[in-house]
Copies of this chain bind each other. A is one copy, B any other.
Amino acid sequence: MNDIQEMPNWLKNRAFLTPNRIALKTEDLSMTFKELHEKAFLLAKKLSCAGVKKQDHVAVLMNNSVEMVFFIHALKYIGAVTVLINTRLSKHELSYQLSDSNSVFLLTENTFLPLIQNLSTKVLLREEVPLLEDGVFSLQENFSLNETDTIMYTSGTTGAPKGVLQTYGNHWWSAIGSALNMGLYEEDCWLAAVPFFHISGLSILNRSVIYGMPVFVHYGFNPIKANEAIKYHGVTIMSVVSAMLTKMIQELDKDKYPSTFRCMLLGGGPAPLPLLEECLERSIPVYQTYGMTETASQIVTLSPEYSMKKIGSAGKPLFPAQLKIEKDGELLSPYEEGEIVVKGPNVMKGYYQRNVETEKEFKDGWFYTGDIGFVDEEGFLFVLDRRSDLIVSGGENVYPAEIESILLSHPKVKDAGVTGLQDATWGQVPAAFIVSGQDLSEDEIIDFCKEKLAKYKVPRSIYFVSELPRNASNKLLRRKLIDLL
């Protein structure tokens, strides 16, 4: 009788249990859970008037704002599945994701009007939804933990982005695993300067309602404003990638964070050593993490007390999760390099309508990440290569295979390979190696890519070569591309 298949609607329950606690803060406003509930409830009525129904897939294309938070909760109130769209996608990519996810509505805002011309999906503008009549809907009093809450797109070796099915249970356990690892303090306040369309940002919103903790919402990342939020507005935890943290520390100059600031949660790849040393000197507690869209945020985390002793490590699994290193189906010993395999209730249900890919990546409940790494004798994980030569540029995942498939669609491109080059600002940027033999300029390729790809995926440099490195079975050896320079 204690099967946990459903639990009370998080925001509604939170508004009942601690109505007067602060849910959202910005420099200008402060809103309680009761007020947030009322906003979400009202918008749910408006959305139902627009025709949004339980189990509908509704794509959300918005920049961070408190309004975006209202809509995210409103969709859960109706029981719709939220498809979170990266705001930097090209029109080509947007169309693909809307169609692949079977989204019946696109909920967006005026600033994206140029991008959304002539889409076949029905558009709802956040500026106009509040003007609609009140519709009637049945509020989801309970969340089923096995049901899909959100879908986020991610690519892989195949190049075609796939929709990751994140359940209510995935988000719940992610929040619980994080709390067991980092603790839960009465005065906690989490700064969200990472996008809500990423799992790093969305997970902050889930923690907020589950913990009863305020989120300080930034409408974009600004290192000066981020430092101010920590110094003057009571922020105790912040999610960052290395590029953000580097800029914040430059801006901070000789200043310090208050001692109440207790966690800089650093995701998106290993941190450069000088950055860690700088943080140690300034007593900034950095928690390095390893996670992905498929694990609904962090699954492995390195606590600050180990950040120097275990340099380069991503840490140990969160309490409810597990980790192993495998090669050719064999469990490896410490220090042997192999594929990182994880298990836990925060691991996704699968990819939307892609049973073959899903089954390929799971075995006995274990998820094969495609990332390469090893553990040391104490069980600390070291990540060597992100899956399929993943490029992490300013915290965004860039998949070489996806860019290559665009490049290969150009009539004058015979062969193409993409890899990441080191970059002082972004960590890595994509570079393309092209085999053409025809009259083809660098600008022509870049213009072609700009039409089809989000800006951060467009190669920063193009190298024309006569041949690409391939192995015996003709598989592209992306890591050898760099040798062609």
Taking beta carbons and an 8 Å cutoff, which residues of A are in contact with B?
1-4, 7-8, 13-14, 16-17, 19, 145-146, 167, 169-170, 173, 176, 179-180, 183-186, 210-212, 316-317, 319-320, 322, 345-350, 358, 362, 365, 367, 378-379
Contacts and interface: CB of A to CB of B under 8 A. Distances in A.
Given A184-B179, A319-B17, A348 B2 contact: yes
Given A16-B316, A319-B17, A379-B16, A367 B1 contact: yes
A34 to B, nearest CB: 11
A347 B210 CA distance: 20
B4 A320 contact: yes
A217 to B, nearest CB: 22
Number of copies: 2
A164 to B, nearest CB: 12
B362 A1 contact: yes
A2 B319 contact: no
B173 A184 contact: no
13 contacts: A1-B348, A1-B349, A1-B367, A2-B146, A2-B173, A2-B349, A4-B169, A8-B319, A8-B320, A17-B317, A180-B211, A183-B183, A183-B185
A427 B322 CA distance: 47
B3 A146 contact: yes
B183 A346 contact: no
Contacts of A212: 180
Contacts of A346: 2
Contacts of A180: 179, 184, 210-212
Nearest to A167: B2
Given A8-B322, A179-B180, A316-B17, A365 B185 contact: no
Nearest to A169: B2
A180 B8 CA distance: 14
A186 B180 CA distance: 10
Contact of A185 (B185, B319, B347): B185
Leading 10 A-B pairs by shortest Cβ distance: A4-B345, A184-B184, A183-B184, A17-B316, A7-B320, A2-B345, A2-B169, A183-B186, A2-B170, A1-B349
A173 B17 contact: no
A146 B5 CA distance: 12
